[in-house]
């Protein structure tokens, strides 16, 4: 009996030790060779377990990110299969642990997504894929439905997504179940719509009064309830939202030259600096302090003031986590910060008028239609309405669980 207890004790100790070791494993960056390829693997934890992978041979570079829990292991790839047809070269990395096979391709010396090749009907991709490789190809369901003046595709909305569209008095709310409408106010707000998504709330600042902003409306996404409260410190009408960080809304009052944080859950407004000698901005999640003269030189929008000519000639460049995102010649691109020159074409849309990035998804407005792109699900149509041709500033948004 003592021997059994002793063995059981040893087993428990080993089990705990192994699991503690797995938990304590840190981020890593490692380079190794597989046949003709050099693999650079960068592992990090950021709302999930991520591996940024760069695979190179003498002619080609393939860049991608893998979001899989692989016990934070190193050297996760054991083999790389190569497939070619004319100007298309593709690879399929094979992993030491069971992971869905994904293909990464370069067309005419440009990395492109499998979703793009599939949607454009690329003949060389069809030839390669006819080998029955059982690769993962994003699918969309373009079953359309109508609600008032909106055409929507709720089967393309993921379970952890909710889309919002401001309708001058309230919002349309679209999830994978369907669409509904919530009225906020009794009159129209057309211009300078001050709204954002923070935590589990869609928030609207009622800034239509010349006396300033006092009422704040917020829709609780999870409880499906609309509420409001009054700010203890009134903001002037000439205010704007800088951005959202750690569930706090940063707002700047241009007239009073003051910056505040607003906590919707606690219904509080707090000045950044009572003497207002210091102003705060965030660049890709990193906090920075600015002087008054620098802060008010232009409107400060967090993560929207990036410039890097090594990435793109586009005037708009956004960075989230380890990737830069940009639009160029109707193409939607991203580039890994450690491999800026190796851009990836995610998809193409005509006449892109607006776009933003949230939790690794790109939300794009093309003419009168909103699309969403993610690496796992590709480019999907979400909704369209004729109104978006004429007015789109600050009237659409997305919440992700």
Whether 302 has a pLDDT exceeding 60, the answer reads: yes
All residues at 6 or more sequence positions from 290 whose CB lies less than 8 Å from its CB, including other chains:
278, 279, 280, 281, 300
Least trusted range by pLDDT, from 6-20, 190-204, 253-267: 6-20
pLDDT given for residue 2 in this prediction: 53
Strand duo 378-384 + 150-152: pairing:
antiparallel
pLDDT band at 22 (very low <50, low <70, confident <90, very high): very low
Whether 14 has a pLDDT exceeding 50, the answer reads: no
* DSSP reduced 3-state for 123: helix
pLDDT given for residue 208 in this prediction: 81
pLDDT given for residue 48 in this prediction: 87
Mean pLDDT value of segment 68-76: 92
pLDDT given for residue 100 in this prediction: 85
pLDDT given for residue 20 in this prediction: 38
All residues at 6 or more sequence positions from 326 whose CB lies less than 8 Å from its CB, including other chains:
311, 312, 314, 316, 317, 318, 333, 334, 335
Kindly report, residue by residue over 352-380, the tens digit of the pLDDT.
999 999 999 999 999 999 999 999 999 99
* DSSP reduced 3-state for 14: helix
Whether 178 has a pLDDT exceeding 80, the answer reads: yes
**Which of residues 231 and 16 earns the better pLDDT score?**
231
pLDDT band at 6 (very low <50, low <70, confident <90, very high): low
Mean pLDDT value of segment 81-109: 95
Which of 379, 395, 309, 391 lies closest to 117, judged by CA?
379
Whether 383 has a pLDDT exceeding 90, the answer reads: yes
**Which of residues 310 and 185 earns the better pLDDT score?**
185
Mean pLDDT value of segment 272-293: 90
Please report which helix (H) or strand (E) contains residue 293, including its range. helix 292-295
List, in sequence order, every beta strand (DSSP E) within 5-114. Answer: 28-34, 37-45, 49-56, 61-67, 77-85, 88-95, 104-107, 110-112
Mean pLDDT value of segment 380-401: 93
Whether 101 has a pLDDT exceeding 60, the answer reads: yes
pLDDT band at 188 (very low <50, low <70, confident <90, very high): confident
Question: How far is Cα 293 from Cα 187, in angstroms, rounded to an integer?
Answer: 37
Whether 55 has a pLDDT exceeding 60, the answer reads: yes
Whether 159 has a pLDDT exceeding 80, the answer reads: yes
pLDDT band at 191 (very low <50, low <70, confident <90, very high): confident
Whether 3 has a pLDDT exceeding 80, the answer reads: no
pLDDT given for residue 8 in this prediction: 57
Question: How far is Cα 397 from Cα 358, in angstroms, rounded to an integer?
Answer: 10
**Which of residues 310 and 291 earns the better pLDDT score?**
291
Averaged confidence pLDDT in the chain:
90
CA distances in angstroms from 53 to 67, 75, 82, 336, listed in the order given: 11, 11, 16, 10
Whether 21 has a pLDDT exceeding 60, the answer reads: no
Whether 149 has a pLDDT exceeding 80, the answer reads: yes
**Which of residues 47 and 157 earns the better pLDDT score?**
157
pLDDT band at 214 (very low <50, low <70, confident <90, very high): very high
């Amino acid at each position: 009996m003592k021997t059994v207890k002793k063995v059981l004790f040893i087993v428990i100790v080993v089990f705990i030790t192994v699991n503690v070791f797995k938990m304590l494993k840190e981020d890593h960056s490692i380079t190794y060779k597989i046949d003709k390829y050099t693999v650079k693997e960068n592992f990090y934890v950021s709302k999930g377990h991520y591996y940024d992978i760069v695979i190179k041979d003498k002619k080609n570079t393939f860049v991608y990110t893998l979001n899989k829990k692989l016990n934070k292991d190193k050297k996760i790839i054991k083999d790389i299969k190569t497939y070619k047809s004319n100007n298309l070269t593709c690879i399929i990395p094979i992993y030491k642990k069971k992971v869905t096979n994904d293909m990464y391709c370069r067309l005419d010396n440009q990395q492109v997504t499998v979703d793009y090749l599939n949607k454009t009907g690329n003949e060389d991709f069809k030839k390669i894929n006819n080998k029955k490789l059982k690769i993962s190809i994003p699918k969309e369901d373009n079953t359309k439905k109508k609600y008032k003046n909106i055409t929507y595709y709720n089967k393309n909305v993921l379970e952890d997504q909710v889309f919002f569209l401001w309708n001058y008095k309230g919002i349309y709310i679209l999830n994978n179940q369907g669409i509904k409408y919530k009225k906020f106010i009794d009159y129209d707000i057309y211009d300078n719509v001050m709204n954002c998504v923070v935590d589990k709330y869609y928030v609207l600042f009622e800034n239509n009064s010349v006396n300033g902003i006092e009422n704040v409306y917020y829709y609780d996404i999870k409880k499906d309830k609309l509420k409001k409260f009054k700010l203890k410190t009134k903001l002037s009408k000439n205010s704007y939202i800088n951005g959202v960080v750690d569930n706090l809304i940063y707002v700047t009052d241009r007239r009073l030259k003051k910056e505040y944080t607003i906590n919707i859950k606690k219904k509080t407004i707090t000045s950044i600096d009572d003497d207002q000698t210091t102003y705060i901005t965030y660049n890709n999640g990193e906090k920075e302090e600015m002087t008054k003269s620098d802060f008010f030189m232009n409107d400060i929008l967090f993560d929207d003031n990036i410039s890097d000519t090594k990435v793109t000639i586009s005037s708009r460049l956004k960075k989230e986590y380890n990737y830069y995102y940009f639009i160029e010649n109707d193409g939607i691109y991203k580039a890994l910060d450690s491999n800026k020159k190796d851009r990836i074409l995610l998809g193409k849309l005509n006449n892109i008028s607006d776009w933003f990035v949230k939790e690794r998804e790109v939300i794009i407005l093309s003419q009168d239609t909103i699309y969403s792109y993610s690496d796992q699900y590709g480019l999907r149509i979400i909704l369209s309405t004729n109104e978006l041709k004429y007015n789109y500033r600050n009237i659409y948004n997305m919440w992700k669980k």
